[in-house]
Amino acid sequence: FEVSAETYGRAPKMIHLEANFVQFKEELLPKDGNKALLTFPFLHIYWTDCCDTEAYKSSVKEDMLRWHNSLKTHGSADWVIIVVESNDTKKKNKTNILPRSSIVDKIRSDFCNKQNDRCVVLSDPLKDSSRSQESWNSLLLKLRTLLLMSFTKNLGRFEDDMRTLREKRTQPAQKRGVMWEELAFVFEMLQQFEDALVQYDELDALFTQYVLNFGAGGTSTQPDC
């Protein structure tokens, strides 16, 4: 994705952010006390092509609820539900579709509360039509927006943790060094090389201070290079 990002008073910049899809596994969700930035997914997506109200009530809703509760338990608030609709599927299940309440309405009522934008419809994805193309464009825009929001939030939280560590001089240099290195790598990944260089300068200053302290007879946890 090519997106414009702005955090902590920085001027907006165009960044290059690559996104990979992985299968959902609860062990990939962040654990308590995990301060890492790149070891867990940022945006969680639940896909469904269900348009049968009975199937939704009997199984899909329960499975979706387990997924949603897992995210809440691990403090992951960045998610979206994508409902894939096709005219062929609708015709096959016409007798089971409620006349006044679509599956999308049910999902929004059951899971989205006031966040209706967290349920997106992808219409006729395999058809070569203007309706299908418009639906794809809308979905990609929504994914880009939600992914950027999540990345910006997690990046800001990571920088807050770094500021806290910087103020706590008693924290091991190894822990601070690893976080500066990870943040520098993130800025490189975003092709923000000037910001990455700032973090590498901080890392260099940290190691230099360690060497000076050690040479003066001080004690410090050895950085992990």
User: Could you list the residue range(s) of the whole structural domain that residue 20 is in?
Assistant: 2-151
Alpha carbon separation from 86 to 24, 51, 134, 136, 184 (Å, rounded): 25, 9, 14, 13, 45
Are residue 139 and residue 39 in the same domain, yes or no? yes
Are residue 145 and residue 177 in the same domain, yes or no? no
Are residue 16 and residue 93 in the same domain, yes or no? yes
CA gap 188, 140 in Å, rounded:
24
Are residue 92 and residue 37 in the same domain, yes or no? yes
Residue 133: predicted pLDDT: 94
Are residue 39 and residue 138 in the same domain, yes or no? yes
Are residue 69 and residue 178 in the same domain, yes or no? no
**Is 162 part of any domain?**
no
pLDDT mean values, one per 10 residues, the chain (225 residues): 48 73 89 72 93 90 96 91 79 51 87 88 90 93 89 81 67 63 75 76 73 62 41
In the 8-state DSSP scheme, what is residue 217? T
Are residue 115 and residue 172 in the same domain, yes or no? no
Is residue 1 a contact partner of residue 144, using CB atoms and an 8 Å limit? Answer: yes
Are residue 173 and residue 147 in the same domain, yes or no? no
Give the model confidence (pLDDT) of 148-187 as tens digits: 888 888 888 877 777 776 666 555 555 666 776 777 777 7
Using the 3D structure, point to which of 151, 185, 207 is the last residue of a domain: 151
Residue 33: predicted pLDDT: 64
Residue 169: predicted pLDDT: 57
The two structure tokens encoding residue 52? 């049968």
Alpha carbon separation from 2 to 40, 124, 137 (Å, rounded): 21, 26, 14
Task: Give the total number of structural domains in the chain.
Answer: 2
Using the 3D structure, point to which of 96, 116, 151 is the last residue of a domain: 151
SS3 147: helix
pTM of model > 0.75 = no
Are residue 103 and residue 28 in the same domain, yes or no? yes
**Is 158 part of any domain?**
no
Are residue 67 and residue 127 in the same domain, yes or no? yes
Is residue 64 a contact partner of residue 111, using CB atoms and an 8 Å limit? Answer: yes
